[in-house]
Each structure stands twice: as structure tokens, then as C-alpha cells.
């Protein structure tokens, strides 16, 4: 139905009916220092035609560029069928499937998504998605605190080599709940989590250890060794992984002796376009033992009295609309359309197709790094295996290099100066299967001229 704004007279009548002098009186419990009285940075409204022109202009800026930025969002090939199907009305406008009898299509799709994610991670169960990878980590930490009842410390070991935005978001989510996130440094030579630093906490009460694979630098960490350390020290394991990389790497459920307890991360590599930053979706898998602590919803499959297959919302442990502050989580919905696209994407590619895409990304990245490292003054920072991202050191100021290359429509990488100043003028560069040999050669050629 159309939105019909209230007239001044109608607003006045409603205020009089409840005995309020103004709309501001309805929010007088909000402290004045938390209220914003000026919206100077928000531009005036534009006519529809001008808005369309502006959006087309901005969209053009994202086209015809050579993108070598990864850092948590990756430009992979997406079969055209994915979004042709995902944007059909049945999926595009589907709402939360509370009524199972009216939502069998949506419920089955989510069930298939859960099945594929659990298989990809080699874990027992998957939920039906979260908001994004960063908030998924925050939820995983809260889940570990609830599940590990023998631990009283509420201390979580988090490598500094984990995505800085994930660490910041997780800290925002948990910091007011007496949960301590402890930074673990990375080895300066390999970029891996420092086992020496980790051993300082051996024998102490640690609730969970977070392990990234690959980590933010693209480095493949020693996940078996880290997992065994956590097992020996009675700490839970939270895996933060790239889902596409898991098609060719050892999945979290097979790490160490018993596997990770929780696996989470960003689902964007599974059929979601860059889209200037979103929306994306987070995923979470876990062991059956702690499934009731999992946030979000879980879809189940059953049969009716006639033996016909049916799907329903099996477990909603969060139930904030009933349990309020006692809820497992305050997640009230998920990124349903993104999950729909990811399910279609995984169905079309299959296990073999995902592995091929991951292997092709790795091959393209090897070609990129080989060419870049041959440029005088450019060096690879960490001499260790990677997936499709690498940190390179530059002989010039990284921000100036990025600006110069952007003039040639080359998005050359992620500047690490703000998050990791100790690395100096360094870029995180990435290549996926979409990068052509010509695009890679152009990047190498332009960077060589600048350096």
C-alpha cells in the first residue's frame, strides 16, 4: 500500500489525544548529548529524474575497472542464471517463513542452503544465515561463551591477522558484556598466528580461540596446530573462513583432532556481486553438541501423515520476540535474498565447480604476484603459502601509488597503512578467476612505471 504522510492538523490531533506538546516530548528519555539536531550533511531531496541520473553516474564509476582489491569482498564470476532465478517474485519478495504451509518453497531452499554449507564446512549443522561476516564473528563469540560453561573467564584469543573490520565489529558487539578479546600477534616473517605468543596463555582459562583461514593477509595458517593447542587448553575453536577456499582446503570440521566447534564468515564469494559494498550475508555452522546455542533459525525436513516431504522452522533458539533479554540472540531475520542467490550459485557449480573457481583464483594470483615481485623495489612481505591474496611492500607511499593507478582504472589493492602501520607502505592485493591475463599484465606494467 502507498505511504500517506500525516498532515500537520492530524499530527496535532494525535498529540492532543495523548497529552503531548510536541513530537520531541515522545523522546524526552533520550539524553540530549545523544541526540542529533542537525542533518547538514544530508543533501536536499531530488526529483526522481535527477536521482536516476545520479545513480547511473555512480554505477558507471564501478564499471570498466580492473579490481585487485579483496580484503573480505571478492569479484568472482557469477553465472547469469543465479540472479535471474533469485529475482523471481517467489524468492525476491518472500517474507520470513513463519507459516510453513504457505512457505514450502522458501523453507526447502533454506534447508538446501544449510545442507550445502554444513557439507562445505564438514560441520554438523548450519543456520539460515546472519547479517554479514563481521557480525557472524560477534555472534560466534557470544555462542562460545554460552556453550563453554566450564570456562568462567570470558576471554577470547583473537589473532591480529584477522580482518580488522571483523575484530572491530565483534568488539562493539561483546565489549559491554564483560567479554575480553585478547589480541594475538602474528609472526613478522610468515604472517601466521604466533604460537610463541599463544603459549603465554597455555594452562589458563580461555573460553575460545579464533582461527582465520586464510587470514586477512591471505596467508594459510597452521590450523591443525592451532586447533590442537586449543583442544589441549580446553578452549573452544571458532573458525573464520572464506567459504570458496574451503572447497579446496581442509574444512573446519576436520581441523586438529576433533575439528572446530563453530565456523563462520562472509558468504559473499558464493554468488553475491560486489555491489559497492553490499548487502552480503554471514554464515555459521557448528557441531550438533552446541546447536541449541546457535543464533538465527534452523530449517528442518520431515514427512506428514501421508509420507510426503515437508519443511518447517525446526529450531529458533533466539526467539527474541518471546524471550526478550533471555533470547539466544536479537537477530530477527536474515539476508534471505542473498542466501537464495548463494544456494542457486552452489547448486549450479556443485562441489567440482567451486573447487575449479577456487583453483583458478589461486592460479591467477600466482601469476599476479610473480609479475609484481619482479618489479625493482616491490617485495612480497610474507614468504608463506597463500590462497588468493598477498601483502606486497612498495618503494613509494602506498596511498600515492593507489591514487596514480586509480587514474588508469586500476583498483590496485587495500592500503594496510592505517590497520597495520608496522608493515610500512604495504598493499593487500588479490586476484580471482575473473582477472584476465591482459588485466594482470596491465597492472604490472603500470605499477612498474610508477615505482
Local confidence pLDDT in tens for the 451 residues of the chain: 355 678 889 999 999 999 999 988 998 889 988 887 777 777 788 888 988 898 888 888 777 889 999 999 999 999 999 999 999 988 888 777 878 888 899 999 999 999 999 999 999 999 988 999 999 999 999 999 999 999 999 999 999 999 999 999 999 999 999 999 999 999 999 999 999 999 999 999 999 999 999 999 999 999 999 999 999 999 999 999 999 999 999 999 999 999 999 999 999 999 999 988 889 999 999 999 999 899 888 899 999 889 999 998 887 655 555 666 667 776 666 678 999 999 999 999 999 999 999 999 999 999 999 999 999 999 999 989 999 999 999 999 999 999 999 999 999 999 999 999 999 999 999 999 999 999 999 999 999 999 8
pLDDT score recorded for residue 331: 67
Contacts of 163 (CB under 8 A, 6+ apart): 71, 72, 133, 134, 212, 216, 240
pLDDT score recorded for residue 307: 92
Phi then psi dihedrals of residue 94, to 5 deg = -65, 140
CATH classification of 80-345 is 3.40.50.970, yes or no? no
**CATH code for the structural domain at 66-76+351-450:** 3.90.1150.10
From CA 184, how far away is CA 433, in angstroms rounded? 32
Q: Where in the chain is the domain with CATH 3.40.640.10?
A: 80-345
Q: What is the pTM of this model?
A: 0.89
Q: Where in the chain is the domain with CATH 3.90.1150.10?
A: 66-76+351-450
pLDDT score recorded for residue 317: 56
pLDDT score recorded for residue 278: 87
From CA 390, how far away is CA 403, in angstroms rounded? 20
pLDDT score recorded for residue 403: 96
pLDDT score recorded for residue 96: 75
pLDDT score recorded for residue 419: 97
pLDDT score recorded for residue 44: 80
Amino acid at each position: 500500500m502507498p505511504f500517506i504522510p500525516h498532515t500537520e492538523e492530524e499530527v496535532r490531533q494525535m498529540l492532543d489525544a495523548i497529552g503531548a506538546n510536541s513530537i520531541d516530548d515522545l523522546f524526552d528519555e533520550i539524553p540530549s548529548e545523544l541526540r542529533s539536531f542537525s542533518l547538514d550533511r544530508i543533501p536536499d531531496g531530488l526529483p526522481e529524474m535527477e536521482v536516476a541520473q545520479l545513480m547511473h553516474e555512480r554505477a558507471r564509476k564501478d564499471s570498466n575497472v580492473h579490481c585487485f582489491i579483496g580484503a573480505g569482498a571478492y569479484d568472482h564470476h557469477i553465472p547469469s542464471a543465479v540472479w535471474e532465478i533469485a529475482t523471481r517474485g517467489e524468492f525476491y519478495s518472500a517474507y520470513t517463513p513463519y507459516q510453513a504451509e504457505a512457505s514450502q518453497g522458501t523453507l526447502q531452499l533454506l534447508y538446501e542452503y544449510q545442507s550445502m554449507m554444513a557439507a562445505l564446512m564438514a560441520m554438523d549443522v548450519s543456520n539460515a544465515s546472519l547479517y554479514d561476516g563481521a557480525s557472524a564473528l560477534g555472534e560466534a563469540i557470544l555462542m562460545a561463551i554460552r556453550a563453554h560453561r566450564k570456562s568462567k573467564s570470558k576471554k577470547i584469543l583473537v589473532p591480529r591477522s584477522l580482518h580488522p573490520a571483523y575484530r572491530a565489529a565483534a568488539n562493539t558487539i561483546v565489549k559491554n558484556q564483560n567479554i575480553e578479546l585478547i589480541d594475538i600477534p602474528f609472526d613478522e616473517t610468515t604472517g601466521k598466528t604466533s604460537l610463541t605468543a599463544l603459549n603465554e596463555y597455555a594452562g589458563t582459562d580461555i573460553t575460545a580461540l579464533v582461527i582465520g583461514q586464510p587470514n586477512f593477509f591471505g596467508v594459510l595458517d597452521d590450523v591443525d596446530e592451532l586447533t590442537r593447542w586449543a583442544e589441549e587448553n580446553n578452549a573452544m575453536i571458532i573458525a573464520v573462513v572464506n567459504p570458496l577456499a574451503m572447497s579446496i582446503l581442509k574444512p573446519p570440521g576436520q581441523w586438529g583432532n576433533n575439528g572446530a566447534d563453530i565456523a563462520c564468515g562472509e558468504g559473499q564469494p558464493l554468488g553475491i556481486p560486489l555491489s559497492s559494498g553490499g548487502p552480503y550475508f554471514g554464515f555459521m555452522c557448528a557441531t550438533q553438541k552446541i546447536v541449541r546455542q546457535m543464533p538465527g533459525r534452523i530449517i528442518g525436513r520431515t514427512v506428514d501423515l501421508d509420507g510426503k516431504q515437508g519443511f518447517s522452522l525446526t529450531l529458533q533458539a533466539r526467539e527474541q520476540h518471546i524471550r526478550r533479554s533471555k533470547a539466544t540472540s536479537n537477530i530477527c531475520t536474515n539476508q534471505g535474498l542473498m542466501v537464495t542467490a548463494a544456494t542457486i550459485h552452489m547448486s549450479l557449480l556443485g562441489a567440482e565447480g567451486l573447487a575449479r573457481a577456487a583453483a583458478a583464483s589461486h592460479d591467477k594470483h600466482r601469476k599476479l604476484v610473480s609479475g609484481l615481485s619482479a618489479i625493482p623495489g616491490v617485495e612480497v612481505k610474507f614468504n608463506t603459502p597463500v590462497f588468493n591474496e598477498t601483502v606486497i611492500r612498495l618503494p613509494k607511499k602506498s596511498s600515492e601509488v593507489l591514487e596514480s593507478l586509480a587514474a588508469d582504472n586500476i583498483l590496485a589493492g587495500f592500503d594496510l597503512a592505517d590497520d597495520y602501520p608496522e608493515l610500512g607502505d604495504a598493499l593487500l592485493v588479490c586476484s580471482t578467476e575473473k582477472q584476465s591475463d591482459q588485466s594482470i599484465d596491465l597492472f604490472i606494467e603500470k605499477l612498474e612505471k610508477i615505482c
